[in-house]
Copies of this chain bind each other. A is one copy, B any other.
Amino acid sequence: MTHPDDTALADATKLALRRLAKSVVVITCRHEGRRYAMAATAVDALSMEPPSLLACVNRSASIHPALAGAEMFAINILRRDHEPLSHHCGGGAKGEARFELGSWDDEAPVPILADAQAAILCRRDATFEYGTHSIFVGRVAEVRTFGEVDPLVYVDGRYTGLHNSLSPMGRGLG
């Protein structure tokens, strides 16, 4: 399916998307008695009627069958000092070993990172397919926030944080 032009276009697209700054999250779920976690950046607010968000996940990811089978999943927004956890859940560890790092609350229906910037527990409400990926839509069931706002950000192939001085001109987007 791939010919040289596709490869060049994919490379150019990757270079362009390195400039789209993204909060780093860990997606978690529980399925058939096992816990799953994966670091990710392709997560967005979707609608507020109903409160919902989406996560794009490669069908080749080890968490994919669990997300497709589980009723619920959680989006845990990482804090700037969670960078080691992002490495760990981004490939550094596999399977249940991903939960050896971090403060996980296992009392919740889905494993929740206790000191995440925010943990958003969702009931899977729709799944769309495109190319190699599934778009999982979660309807929000429960929300937790913790601590000051200081998210871990991934941009230009690296981790960073936000500039301390937020713009005083800032105001809500339409």
Contact = CB atoms under 8 A, between A and B. Distances in A.
A85 to B, nearest CB: 12
B145 A41 contact: no
Nearest to A146: B19
A54 B135 contact: yes
A44 to B, nearest CB: 4
Contacts of A49: 1-2, 6, 10, 131-132
In this complex, the member of A20, A87, A158 whose beta carbon has the largest number of chain B beta carbons within 10 angstroms is: A20
Interface in A107-135: 117-120, 125-126, 128, 130-133, 135
Given A19-B151, A120-B13, A162-B163, A170 B157 contact: yes
A30 interface: no
B149 A156 contact: yes
Contacts of A133: 46-47
Contact of A163 (B90, B118, B130, B163): B163
Interface string A49-90: 111111010100000000000000000010000010011001
Contacts of A10: 48-49, 51
A24 B174 CA distance: 12
B151 A48 contact: no
The 9 closest A-B pairs by CB, nearest first: A158-B170, A47-B131, A91-B174, A16-B118, A13-B51, A12-B143, A19-B117, A21-B23, A42-B44
9 contacts: A20-B118, A46-B133, A46-B135, A48-B131, A54-B130, A83-B169, A87-B171, A128-B135, A158-B167
